[in-house]
Amino acid sequence: SSKRHVMLMIIDALRADYVFNRNHSYYLKSIEKLEENGKYLSYKLRCHSPTVT
């Protein structure tokens, strides 16, 4: 039987345009290579943490 492995990597404060905008000067080409090989899926999530004062 073949087993599939999942690695969840969460990077706090990584700008989405570095990952998703291929025209941006800081675009991460290494992520694009993983995506082309079918080894990577990228998602842009936004969350709002509660404010504590």
6-37 pLDDT, tens digit each = 877 777 777 777 777 778 777 777 777 777 77
Q: Yes or no: say if 14 and 20 are a contact pair by the CB < 8 Å rule.
A: no
Domain boundaries in the chain? Answer: 1-42
The whole-angstrom separation of Cα 5 and Cα 37 is 16
Q: Confidence class of residue 5 from pLDDT cuts 50, 70 and 90?
A: confident
Extract the tokens encoding 7: 């690695």
pLDDT at 1 over 70: no
Structure pTM? 0.40
pLDDT at 51 over 80: no
